């Protein structure tokens, strides 16, 4: 009987793809291989989430762009220290839930194929949002747009999933219409230099409804931030259109050697 139900569930699951099966069946942690005990953990087990937090406690980040300052440690101190490489970037401030590794990295990767943020991921994003004072005066949330061609390939935009999750929690409006992507940029790959990244983003975005962002403090949301070239290009366009402030909230902050 149990077998019959199992095979029926499997057959049913096939129709909806892997996402359904991973919801019905306990999955192995993508980081350590142990069973994941709860749906709210997503693709990483509770221990790996805890390990991620412990790691993060010793992370001191650049006051502007949020990149980890190597060799420094503190209790996630947002001090006045800067990395020295973000002066030219056009946004005002960027923060992430932590470095692109472990439980966070695996969850971000999963979000590319499954439009859902598990509780553990959501909780960390909301915590960062509440912690950063500059985010408290945000007027609207703006997901990084995908080019229509990419959107057709991917079926959904993971930045919109992040924006929707944040909006549901904060009550802030999502601005989906001001900004469009007019160039289908090559996907950023591991090993691309900061200059190549910056070039590939040049003139990739267009502001079609400046009145929606004029004199507004905008929060750009994305899954991973690496050099900040995407956020920089968008901040230039929004700034030219009259936005009073452009802040960035990414789920993860990658080092330049990682893709994206
Ligand atoms: Zn684990
Ligand atoms: Zn910096």
Residues 180-232 have pLDDT tens digits of 998 876 665 556 676 776 677 778 899 998 888 999 999 999 999 998 999 99
User: Would you state the pLDDT for residue 190?
Assistant: 59
pLDDT-derived band at 234, boundaries 50, 70, 90: very high
Distance, CA 126 to ligand 2 centroid (Å)?
Answer: 22
Most distant pair of Cα atoms in the chain: their distance: 65
Residues with CB under 5 A from ligand 1 (ion): 29, 31-32, 34, 45, 48
Mean pLDDT of 51-69: 85
Q: Is the pLDDT of residue 99 over 60?
A: yes
8 Å CB contact between 121 and 107:
yes
Ligand 1 geometric centre to CA of 52 (Å): 10
> Among all ligands shown, which has an atom nearest to the Cα of 88?
2
In eight-state DSSP terms, residue 235 is: H
Instruction: Give the pLDDT of residue 244.
Output: 97
Instruction: Tell me which residue of 259, 191, 200 sits closest to 224, measured CA to CA.
Output: 259
Q: Please give the distance, rounded to the nearest whole angstrom, from the Cα atom of residue 99 to the centre of ligand 2.
A: 14
Regarding predicted confidence, which is higher, 160 or 148? Answer: 160
Structure tokens at 187: 């996907």
3-state DSSP percent of the chain in helix, strand and coil, to 5: 40, 15, 45
pLDDT at 73 over 80: no
Q: Are strands 245-253 and 217-225 parallel, antiparallel or unpaired?
A: parallel
Measured from the alpha carbon of residue 36, the closest ligand is: 1
Split at pLDDT 50, 70, 90, the class of 255 is confident
In angstroms, what is the span from residue 117 Cα to ligand 1's centroid? 17
* Whole-angstrom distance, CA of residue 18 vs CA of residue 26: 12
Mean of all residue pLDDT scores within the chain? 85
Task: Calculate mean pLDDT across residues 69-79.
Answer: 60
pLDDT value at 257 more than 90: no
Among 202, 204, 198, residue whose Cα is nearest residue 226: 198
Domain boundaries, the chain: 41-253
Residue 20 CA to ligand 2 centre (angstroms): 40
pLDDT tens track for 75-86: 455 567 898 999
- Give residue 198 CA to ligand 2 midpoint distance, Å: 16
Mean pLDDT of 237-258: 89
pTM for the complete prediction? Answer: 0.84
Span 13-35, pLDDT tens digits: 444 544 554 555 568 999 999 99
Q: What is the pLDDT of residue 59?
A: 73
Lowest mean pLDDT among 50-59, 140-149, 181-190, 196-205: 181-190
pLDDT at 69: 84
**CATH number of 41-253, picked from 2.60.40, 3.40.50, 3.90.228, 3.40.720:** 3.40.50
Q: How far is the CA of 214 from the centre of ligand 1 (A)?
A: 45
């Amino acid at each position: 009987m149990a077998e019959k139900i199992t095979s029926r569930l499997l057959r049913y699951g096939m129709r909806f793809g892997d996402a359904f099966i991973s919801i019905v069946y306990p999955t192995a942690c993508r980081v350590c291989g142990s069973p994941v005990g709860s749906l709210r953990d997503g693709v990483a087990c509770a221990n790996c989430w805890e390990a991620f937090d412990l790691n993060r406690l010793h992370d001191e980040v650049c006051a502007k762009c949020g990149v980890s300052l190597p060799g420094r440690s503190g209790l996630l101190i947002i001090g006045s220290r800067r990395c020295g490489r973000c002066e030219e970037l056009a946004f005002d401030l960027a923060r992430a839930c932590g470095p692109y590794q472990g439980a966070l990295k695996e969850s971000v990767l999963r979000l590319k194929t499954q439009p859902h943020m598990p509780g553990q991921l959501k909780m960390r994003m909301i915590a960062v949002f509440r912690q950063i004072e500059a985010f408290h005066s945000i007027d609207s949330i703006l997901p990084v747009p995908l080019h229509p061609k990419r959107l057709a390939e991917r079926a959904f935009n993971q930045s919109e999933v992040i924006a929707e999750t944040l909006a549901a929690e904060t009550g802030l409006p999502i601005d989906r219409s001001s900004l469009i992507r007019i160039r289908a940029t090559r996907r950023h790959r591991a090993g691309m230099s900061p200059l190549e990244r910056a070039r590939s983003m040049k003139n990739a975005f267009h502001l079609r409804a400046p009145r929606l962002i004029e004199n507004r403090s905008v929060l750009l949301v994305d899954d991973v931030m690496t050099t900040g070239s995407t956020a920089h290009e968008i901040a230039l366009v929004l700034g030219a259109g009259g936005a009073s402030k452009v802040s960035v909230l990414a789920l993860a902050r990658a080092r330049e050697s990682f893709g994206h």
